[in-house]
Chain A
Amino acid sequence: MTDAPGTLLRARNLVKEFDVRGGGLFGRSARLRAVDDVSLDVRRGETLALVGESGCGKSTTARLIARLVDTTAGTIEFDGREVQALTGKDLHAFRSEVQVVFQDPYSSLNPKHTVERIVTAPLVYQRRPIPGGARAYTGALMERVGLDPDHSTRFPAQFSGGQAQRIGIARALAVAPKMIIADEAVSALDVSVQAQVINLLRRLQDEEGFSCLFIAHDLAVVRQIATRVAVMNGGRIVETGDRDQVFDTPKDPYTRKLLAAVPRIRPEWDAARRRNEAARRAREQEDAQR
């Protein structure tokens, strides 16, 4: 069986179990099945969003795929190679092809390292030469993610949350990955900053063509960024489909429940606001011409 040429990542029947202390004083051990028979594909250049509520197994699934934790069962194939079987040089290469951007930029960036050291770390780890030197390379990356290249000698604490998350994205881009796993990467950001980072991720994906596995709990955010959506509940994927199919005609009762619970600004208010906004702009233009 061969892969469709468009598929970058194929995960089949993933299972992850954790040992947990059982209830009571006697510490009976039990197995918690955090990920239960999960299969998913990420195609080249697309964003697959994995959504669900806390404890549904979405982050664990992302960690399995990035090989940050070992699977209990199942197979992961990335670009034609069996991920669990990778060792030595091949594993090293995989580590640069798949990059992870985490939720909390401050805890995922070393506070004692400058931006330059953070952003070039993946290249140093890969023992690759830094094209054009560290300073110039960092500057160019910072520009691409909308940061001031003159700030390359600053430390993470000197940046705001949104800026720090851009550093995390710059670090991920440094090794030109084939796939970025964004694990709640915009969840902790203020709404206006969140919008900037979403726009940035969309633009970079257009330019670079990487695939993205976007882990999130916020359905409105997911709708802005996903090509396809997989909904998880209780360790399982309950529904997968194209974005519009999942949002407009959800099949699974859990997906429907999730969508119904999202708070909404009344559509008639939004429509009225747009009318008022258009009228205001027209007035302003008239005034300017006068």
Chain B
Amino acid sequence: MSEALLRVRGLTVAFPTASGPGEVVKALDLDLDRGGSLGIVGESGSGKSMTSLAIMGLLPKGATRSGSIEFAGTELTALRERAMRAVRGDRIAMVFQDPLSSLNPYYTVGTQIAEAYQAHRRGVTRRQARRVAIAAMERVHIEDAARRVDHYPHQFSGGMRQRVMIAMTLSMEPELIIADEPTTALDVTVQAQILDLLAEIRADTGAGLILITHDLAVVSEVADRIVVMRDGDLVESGTAERIFTDPREPYTRMLLEAVPRIDDEIGLLRTTAGEAES
């Protein structure tokens, strides 16, 4: 039997509003096995990004979180900030949509990877950290890593910057990678490379993956299990094959009908159940 890496029960995230607390994630349950991959799919405002921030303990000010988040047997909601900081980045790492805003423009990428590594590994010398940075960049197939390590973020293309971000998360050998729309800002050919890279890393390191995306085609290629969210609610969850071959909820069916296909019949795109255009 496979071991549970992440077990989320009744996760609720709320923000105070003029008319009382507004729940953006409502009593959500999630399960991810060690080495598994889970896709969280939804349109804007579905609460999918808030879910990932809640797991990371990175919710914006004012947000309240309730429910249980069990990671490898540890209840994360019971941890103090200091203990949570040891988990975050070290055992759970996050890749965001926009690598340029996640990297500091004033420091070389090597400095930033090394700094992140040193922050989590006590007693590591700068020289050792630099070697780790170069190795991580080589692992994500950045050519000439020994020279590129001294370059600044603006000297990298969007796809290369996302590789740098992934290199940074990898240097810590996390057990869980949470990728929030990691390829949304990238060109389609670069997106394919980054998705291949994530798959390769999972195969090599055995890390679990949570992929958060609005793109059903992307999630169909990456995830074994899928959770569909809408307005903070879990609409439907199941294996990728079940969701894509036999969606049970009308919203999931509508989403699948609305995706334009590159290799399917061309007709009116279904948008809401029974209604072609509204």
Contact = CB atoms under 8 A, between A and B. Distances in A.
Contacts of B48: none
A199 B187 contact: no
A270 interface: yes
B220 A263 contact: yes
Contacts of A198: 260, 269
B189 A258 contact: yes
Interface in A177-214: 190-196, 198-200, 203
Contacts of A269: 220, 241, 244-245
A277 interface: yes
Contact of B258 (A191, A203, A272, A273): A191
B240 to A, nearest CB: 8
A200 B277 CA distance: 7
A270 B260 contact: no
Given A146-B277, A265-B220, A219 B269 contact: no
Interface in B81-127: none
Interface string A8-45: 00000000000000000000000000000000000000
B266 interface: yes
A102 B261 CA distance: 23
Given A217-B187, A224-B266, A190 B192 contact: no
A192 B277 CA distance: 10
B268 to A, nearest CB: 6
Interface string B163-206: 00000000000000000000000011111100100000000000
Contacts of B260: 194-195, 198, 218, 220-221, 223-224
Chain B interface extent, by class: 35 or more
A266 B258 CA distance: 16
Contacts of B259: 191, 195, 220, 265
A221 B188 CA distance: 13
Residue among A161, A247, A265 with the most chain B CB within 10 A?
A265
Nearest to A254: B189
Contact of A192 (B190, B191, B255, B263): B255
Interface string A246-262: 01000000000111111
Interface residues of A, number: 40
Interface stretch (B28-36, B60-68, B246-254): B246-254
Nearest to B218: A263
A159 to B, nearest CB: 14
B221 interface: yes
A266 B220 contact: yes
A220 B254 contact: no
Contact of A265 (B44, B158, B217, B272): B217
Contact of A223 (B220, B247, B262, B268): B262
Contacts of A191: 43, 214, 216, 255, 258-259
A260 B278 CA distance: 33
A267 B247 CA distance: 15
Contacts of A270: 244, 261, 264
Interface of B: 43-44, 158, 187-192, 195, 214-218, 220-221, 241, 244-247, 253-264, 266, 268-272, 276-278
Given A223-B266, A261-B192, 7 more contacts: A191-B216, A195-B259, A203-B277, A220-B259, A224-B266, A265-B244, A269-B245
23 contacts: A53-B187, A161-B44, A191-B258, A192-B43, A192-B271, A193-B43, A193-B271, A195-B258, A195-B259, A195-B269, A198-B269, A199-B271, A220-B260, A221-B260, A223-B266, A224-B269, A262-B188, A262-B217, A263-B192, A263-B220, A264-B217, A265-B256, A273-B244
